[in-house]
Structure 1
Amino acid sequence: MPLKHVALTTELYDYVVAHGTPPDAVLQEIEERTKEFGHYQIMQCVPEQGALLHMLTKLVGARKAIEVGTFTGYSSVCIGRGLPKDGQLLCCDVSEEWTRVARDAWEKAGLTDRIQLALGPALETLRSLPQEADVDIAFLDADKLNYWAYFEELLLRVRPNGLIIIDNTLFQGEVINPDTEHESARLVHAFNERLAADQRVEVVMLPIHDGVTLARKLL
């Protein structure tokens, strides 16, 4: 079968972004404030990812969500807006400085009653939660060393047919380079291989930005 994928040039990427729902003032402010963190701004969720997270949250009818790796809050605003008024999003992060931007954004977006921030090592936070499979959707975007450990803890708590969304699964294209010097790329490659073989989930990898993988927990 001939290849049908389209190479994403800068011009075509701009076209893709221009033809989706644009970020509003709250999300635009997050983008501007994130620039103050210099090279760390690369960790911010991009508009098309945010729109996807919001849509998936709505589509699964999520009421309870977990985010591992919040940074300055772009993705959490998108997920939080997809929840009903009595919904709950638990955000896990280690940085008081970065999440200060997120907390300001939650207030401006009217989400403070829906979002709880847990500052500290995310594995400790996740392991402290009841092992009840009642989470509808989870977003994983944190340190790659612990990706599989985070995934295991999330899988215990996500309901059947619930989603775990994993970011950076293409890792700048380095995941297919066996000679890569990027330790994180090697870790993500190993994670991808293990996830693809996991019989507990149905998996699809999307070539959005730096790679987004959806893992649906099977019954």
Structure 2
Amino acid sequence: MHFLGGFVGLIGCKVSCNLKAPVHILWISMNNFPSVRAMDKEKKESVSFTKGLLQSEELYQYILETSVYPREPEPLKELRDITATHPRSIMATAPDAGQLIAMLLKLTNAKRTIEVGVFTGYSLLLTALTIPEDGKIVAVDLNRDAYDIGLPVIRRAGVENKIDFIESEALPVLDQLLEDPENENGFDFAFIDADKINYWNYHERLMKLVKVGGIVVYDNTLWGGTVAMPEECTPEKMREGRQRTLDLNKLLAADPRVQISLAPLGDGITICRRIH
């Protein structure tokens, strides 16, 4: 989850605003990331929230504790715990979304992958652990600092050799990959969790890089639940991201090159299977 700018709001709030039914949304305060907490006014105690769009924190915790955490490899758990201490820990891939990504990687027998937006590397490590020993990941992020936090865990897991980390804007890297004809249709999988303004630009390039039958996954495609809200009901600082997400979702839904599924995991992930 890489947001374009800070915004202030509530977490797990229910909003009506003349809608036919209340919409459960995920609002994050980027100005208070170290705790990402809401205050229970009656109990006068801090209540922690995690990243998810389900109607109750208890239900989300049930899913994590029953299905996700028991199957989570130890290196991923270690990196998740380390990332939790980062001021912007909410930017990490949600573990339940990560579990689905790992399954998609296995189902497609992915070997060559692309990741745009790395942060501390939870989804990157997950991919490296899942693909074969001779698999390769082209990982791109503007800022190496967060990646360096997770790098010791990646090294201890013995999978650094699978990762080609590039500190750069992503579009020039994708364009450079396309300069080599062998890279066209040469990748099996891509995961995009970066600047929303360029999602469609990434998509156009990935439709040439990822093979027919390959998978592209986009993160944050529900934008805190605001995609189901009128603009006037959306916090001002979330409106630009909301509109970009709405535009992307419409474009993906109309793209004949892909079969899609928008899953309400984390902040929403859209799975695109290239069919043309």
TM-score (norm 2): 0.74
**1:19-30, aligned counterparts within 5 Å?**
19-22=66-69, 23-30=72-79
2:144: which partner in 1?
Answer: 96
Aligned residue for 2:266, secondary structure, equals coil
Higher RCO (Cα < 8 Å, 6 or more apart):
2
The answer on 1:176 being equivalent to 2:228 is yes
2:63: which partner in 1?
Answer: 16
Instruction: Kindly provide the amino acid, as one letter, of the partner of residue 84 in structure 1.
Output: P
Higher CA-based Rg: 2
Equivalent residues, number: 213
1:3: which partner in 2?
Answer: none
2:98–2:123 contact (8 Å) kept in structure 1: yes
The answer on 1:204 being equivalent to 2:274 is no
1:176–1:189 contact (8 Å) kept in structure 2: no
Q: CA deviation at 1:103?
A: 2.1
Aligned residue for 1:70, secondary structure, equals coil
Instruction: Kindly provide the amino acid, as one letter, of the partner of residue 17 in structure 1.
Output: L
**1:107-118, aligned counterparts within 5 Å?**
107-118=155-166
Distance in 2 (alpha carbons) for counterparts of 1:77 and 1:212: 18
2:93–2:266 contact (8 Å) kept in structure 1: no
2:213: which partner in 1?
Answer: 161
Q: Note the aligned Cα RMSD (angstroms).
A: 1.6
The worse-fitting range, judged by mean Cα deviation, of 120-129 and 21-30 is 21-30
2:262–2:268 contact (8 Å) kept in structure 1: yes
Q: CA deviation at 1:21?
A: 4.0
**1:133-144, aligned counterparts within 5 Å?**
133-144=185-196
2:196–2:245 contact (8 Å) kept in structure 1: yes
TM-score (norm 1): 0.92
Q: Deviations over 1:157-196 (max 9, x none)?
A: 0000100001110010011223133111211111001110
Instruction: Extract unaligned runs of 5+ from structure 1.
Output: 1-6
Aligned residue for 2:152, secondary structure, equals helix
Instruction: Kindly provide the amino acid, as one letter, of the partner of residue 111 in structure 1.
Output: V
1:73–1:105 contact (8 Å) kept in structure 2: no
1:75: which partner in 2?
Answer: 123
2:189–2:215 contact (8 Å) kept in structure 1: yes
Identity of aligned residues (%): 35
Distance in 2 (alpha carbons) for counterparts of 1:110 and 1:16: 29
2:134: which partner in 1?
Answer: 86
Q: Flag as ranges the 4+ runs of structure 1 deviating above 3 A.
A: none
| C-alpha spacing 1:31/1:21, structure 2 compared with 1 (3 Å) | closer
1:49–1:209 contact (8 Å) kept in structure 2: yes
Instruction: Extract unaligned runs of 5+ from structure 2.
Output: 1-53
Distance in 1 (alpha carbons) for counterparts of 2:145 and 2:96: 25
**1:55-70, aligned counterparts within 5 Å?**
55-70=103-118
